[in-house]
Amino acid sequence: MTARAAPGPDEAERGVEIREGEYGDRVMAVEPGGIGYIPEAERHGSPYKLFWTWFSPNLGFPIIFIGYLAVAIFGSGFWPAVVAVVLGSALGSAAIAVMSPWGPKFGVPQMVQSRGAFGYAGNVVPAALNAITAGFGWFAVNSVAASFALSSLTGLAFPVSLVIVVAVQGIVAFIGHNFVHRFEASVFPFLAIIFGAITLLLLAQSNPSVGFNPKAPLAFGGPLGTFIIALFVAASYVGSWSPYAMDYSRYLPRETSPRAVFWAAMLGAFIPCAVLEIGGAALATVQCATCTPADSPTDHLVKVLPPALGTLALLAIAVGSISANVLNIYTSALSFLTAGIRFGGTNMQRAVVAALICVIGFLLSLFGAANAPQAYENFLLLIGYWITPWLGVVLADYFWVRHGHYRLSEFFDRNRNPSSGLIAMLVGIVVSVPFWNQALWHGPVVDLAPQLGDLSFLVGFVVAAGVYLALSRRGAQALEGAQA
């Protein structure tokens, strides 16, 4: 990884929105301001904290469920499912890792840096999509999972458990960046031990000889189709964190090693996702004498574990889901602010928006708990349909158009509004539609060749990146002609 040319403090002081207030490394102080540039005096911390900041939120039942889906729903054999989820997790984790070093380099949230490719106005679209995906979609998925687990553990009614879950995760996100990192570090040992023990027991009870099941609910794509869909779902899950990447590294000092940031983020995201998804694939092969057709995958998990570990598993599911939602709420607030939605005084914008997200997310979770497994599967597919084209544009802009060089002021320039980024992203989404493969929509390519599974993530990424490069080259040529 090449060394970066970091912008100096003098550049940050010229026409750049600076994050308000004094914050430093205080853990329990409410983080002030919103999405402004983090000045060097406020930078602190080690890149290695990113390891558990990405590890803890990826220790939860929704990740186990991805591996379970591959075998129980898509019909994959055990070993093909293992290969698919490992490859998918590696691809998605790499997206987080590549962009995490941009945090120390530019000192702004990820969706603010996205303005480099999309412009101020055009970036409203991906920022709003990310705000909704994180603050409402993932919020509901994890809040429902945590609340069901807490209710099973304590006997509390679901609405009561939901109030407790939302309150805990909301308080952490409201306080802000430093407390988010401290919270993730604090729950890391418990979650790692419990989910590690669960995975080992599931593997010990599993039947690795299970092959492709043509009678599975969504096995119509054959072995190859199920492999591709499983890979896409695994990549889509962890890749959905990529629009968050810089949010948790932007307070690191500018001189922080990009290599250290890359590997801390990469391993922190990849290890828990790959391991738990393998455990989920194993769960789908475990025989359960006491399970009934009405049991959820969570019930299946708890029933095949020893009673003591089953109880701890419910607590770990609740804590892990809360851990994930802490990041979802925090990043959603930053994305809403980037999209231009602001409430409260300047010094408390982020915190106020985080609180509002919790209120709205609570209502969505309360009334959307029914049919959670099917909704989760569709949600995982839907998020990839916009994130991979966005990724294609942002990565193409950084590596091939700008070669990593940006002026900080352009991230805050309301008059800088190139159209190429948004056009390329939308074209990538539209061209990928025929390749969509889910309950909500079967594209014509899928109907003609179901063995291809769902290639929309690859098509959307490549098309968006290619269109953006073509438009950028054309724009550069037009500018050179005007200047000649």
Question: At 480, which amino acid appears?
Answer: E
Q: What is the pLDDT of residue 374?
A: 57
- CA angle 231/437/365 to nearest 5° reads 85
Q: What is the pLDDT of residue 4?
A: 43
Classified as helix, coil or strand, 353 is helix
Q: What is the pLDDT of residue 345?
A: 61
Q: Which of 183, 52, 35, 180 is nearest to 115 (CA)?
A: 35
Q: What is the pLDDT of residue 348?
A: 81
What is the gyration radius of the CA atoms in the chain, in angstroms? 22
Residue ranges covered by each domain of the chain: 31-372
Which regions of the chain are under pLDDT 50?
1-6, 9, 11-12, 477-484
CA distance 308 to 297: 19
- Arch. (CATH architecture) of 31-372: Orthogonal Bundle (1.10)
Q: What is the pLDDT of residue 369?
A: 62
Q: Which of 5, 119, 16 is nearest to 475 (CA)?
A: 119
Q: CA distances (Å), 223 to each of 64, 101, 227, in order?
A: 21, 38, 6
Q: What is the pLDDT of residue 221?
A: 79
pTM over 0.85: yes
Can you tell me which residue has the tokens 């705000």? 131
